[in-house]
Amino acid sequence: MSPESSTAPAEARAGGLVDGAGHPAVSPMAVTPDTELSAFVPTFRASAPYIQAFRGKTFVVAFGGEVVADDTFPNFIADLNLLASLGIRLVLVHGARPQVEKLLAQRGMESRYHRGIRVTDESQLGSVIGASARARARIEAALSMAPRTAAVTPSHNRVTGGNFVVAKPIGVIDGVDMKYSGEVRRVDAQAINDCLKDGDIVLMSTLGYSTSGDTFNLTVEEVATQTAIALKASKLIFLLDTPGVLDADGTVISTLYTREASAIASKAPQASDVQFFLSAAVRACQKGVVRAHLIGRKSDGAILQELFTRDGIGTMISVDSLDNLRPATIEDVGALLSIIEPLERQGILVARPRALIEREIERFFLAEHDGQVIGCAALYPFPEANKAELACLAVNPDYRREGYGERLMKAVERAAKEHGINTLFVLTTRTAAWFTERGFRQATITDLPEKKQALYNFERASQVYVKQI
């Protein structure tokens, strides 16, 4: 073991999240862009894990007819093309409400809704089919467009559709006969998968066909949700009018677990985007879709920002937390070094050669966010003295002040207790405040286990802090 292996100053000094004392953050890992161009590099690098993770995964993207009618529609389609080019298996589900309304108005007919769902009578079904076909043609045309900036003509996108959804009538709700408005009975996942396997983009409308040969008008959220579930999709993405699910102050709620999300959905105004899409998102997640995202249709590039940045831009719904604390394994050595090396270079942590880390890997705990290692801490027990050292507590500066340091500290405490140890100590040069706020009190070198005293580095002159656990 290195003579002096502490500690948490790592985080605080490095701008790493936990500095309760409010020291100015010096970030050894952050790149300071001095031009706009250089800002691109860290951004692009940060998106790499997502690019890798998404290849070969199935995403279902649902959007209403408003999106198709919008001026920015070609940009949205260009972004979808980009996703497809990264190897994402894309299923698009489009609505056509404004298009249907326009056609009905032209024909002197009125739209009727019950609980936010169109009541489609026989005389209107033709308009629904016509409007849906028009919307589809516009989407197919846009998907076929080669990007203006492309030097060479990229390979042509193939768009497929078909009778993938078996429908049935909704029937009567609150005494209202919904007529040709229907529900999903079954989604032919195999047929869709066959197309995706061939590299096609699958484009689905809200029309479904019953086994009796009738056409039914379905809702976009139901088709999308049932399709995502049937395909075991990684993601279900809805575009809505607001930039995401908003809290009382109008700020986007960035992440929701299914339980919180269903509480919000049940309180949302009747027939609102949030009520429909958020409940659909919850259903999808409960049935195995990994993540659902609600993003604003009005902000250009929102889908890219949501998918390729850590914090996204809209609301993400998932069953579990993204955060994970776990013991390190030998495969983690590289990731661990990338967290601690910048701090070692600054003299904040005592240098630990790779070989040492490999030998002592089982002493380390890791904090992960979304599958990436972002923090670590180690436990060095001195059982003969009934004491243990909390060492090498460090967190990536991008994740500062999010409580990872504290959770790592607690994990180390728990592990120490499991060793039957009831005193934890740290050696720190600069972040005493962080530890005192968390129940440590200053002690002296003589409070250290004898073995540790023998290794104490007087030049470094760290302070000793202890905590009874």
Q: Residue 20 or residue 49: which is nearer to ligand ARG going by CB? A: 49
Looking at the DSSP assignment, which residues form a beta bridge with residue 186?
A: 166
Q: Are residues 2 and 359 in contact, defined by beta-carbon separation less than 8 angstroms?
A: no
Give the 3-state secondary structure of residue 25: coil
Q: Which of 96, 316 has the CB closer to ligand ARG?
A: 316
Q: Which two tokens stand for residue 46?
A: 């940060």
By the 8 A CB rule, do 26 and 343 touch? Answer: no
| Residues in contact with ligand ARG, shown as a per-residue x/- string from 73 to 102 under the rule CB under 6 A | ------------------------------
The site that binds ligand ARG (CB under 6 A) totals a number of residues, namely 14
Residue 173: DSSP 8-state: E
Asked if 357 and 393 touch (Cβ cutoff 8 Å), the reply is no
Provide, rounded to whole angstroms, the least separation between the CB of residue 54 and ligand ARG: 8
How far apart are alpha carbons 223 and 281 in whole angstroms? 12
Beta carbon nearer to ligand ARG, 308 or 364: 308
Give whichever of 308 and 404 is closer to ligand ARG, judged by the CB atom. Answer: 308
Least Å distance, CB 306 to ligand ARG, is 6
Whether the Cβ atoms of residue 215 and residue 132 lie closer than 8 Å to each other: no
- In angstroms, what is the minimal distance from the CB of 426 to ligand ARG? 33
Minimum distance from CB of 219 to ligand ARG (Å)?
24
Provide the 3-class DSSP secondary structure of residue 159: strand
Minimum distance between the CB of residue 48 and ligand ARG, rounded to whole angstroms?
12
Which amino acid, 81? N
| Shorter beta-carbon distance to ligand ARG: residue 95 or 312 | 312
Whole-angstrom CA distances from 7 to 208, 220, 270, 327, 354 are: 61, 53, 53, 18, 18
Min. distance of Cβ 255 from ligand ARG in angstroms? 5
Nearer to ligand ARG, 50 or 456 (CB): 50
Q: Which of residues 50 and 257 has its CB atom nearest to ligand ARG in the complex? A: 50
Minimum CB–partner distance for residue 451 and ligand ARG (Å): 45
Name which of residues 143 to 202 contact ligand ARG (CB under 6 A): none
Of 235 and 467, nearer to ligand ARG (C-beta) is 235
Query: What are all long-range contacts of 297-300, with beta carbons under 8 Å and residues at least 24 apart?
Result: 297/63, 297/64, 297/66, 297/67, 297/70, 297/76, 297/239, 297/240, 297/241, 298/241, 298/243, 299/243, 300/72, 300/75
Residue nearest ligand ARG, CB atom distance:
312
Which residues contact residue 58 at a Cβ distance below 8 angstroms, ignoring those fewer than 6 apart?
88, 89, 90, 91, 196, 231, 232, 233, 234, 235
- Give the residue from 259, 284, 309 showing the smallest Cα distance to 93: 284
When the beta carbons of 322 and 335 are compared against ligand ARG, the nearer one is 322
Whether the link from the prior residue into 7 is cis, omega within 30° of 0, is: yes
Determine if 254 is a binding residue for ligand ARG (CB under 6 A).
yes
Q: How far is the CB of 366 from ligand ARG (least distance, A)?
A: 19
- How many other CB atoms sit within 10 Å of the CB of residue 158? 14
Residue whose CB is less far from ligand ARG, 249 or 311: 311
How far apart are CB 296 and ligand ARG at their closest, in Å? 11
Question: Degrees (nearest 5) of the Cα angle 163, 164, 165?
Answer: 95
389 binds ligand ARG (CB under 6 A): no
Residues 295-334 that bind ligand ARG (CB under 6 A): 306-312, 314-316
**Closer Cβ to ligand ARG, 203 or 307, answer by number:** 307
Within residues 341-380, the interface with ligand ARG by CB under 6 A covers none
Q: Minimal distance in Å, beta carbon 234 to ligand ARG?
A: 9
The span from the CA of 257 to the CA of 64, in Å, is 25
The correct pick among 210, 255, 429, 436 for binding ligand ARG (CB under 6 A) is 255
Q: What minimum distance in Å lies between the beta carbon of 156 and ligand ARG?
A: 27
Touching ligand ARG, residues 278-297 (CB under 6 A): 291
The residue assigned the tokens 């949700």 is: 225
Annotate each residue in 33-72 with x if it binds ligand ARG (CB under 6 A) or - if it does not, as one string: -----------------x----------------------
Q: Tell me the C-alpha distance between 240 and 296, whole Å.
A: 5
Which residues of this chain interact with ligand ARG, rule CB under 6 A?
A: 50, 254-255, 291, 306-312, 314-316
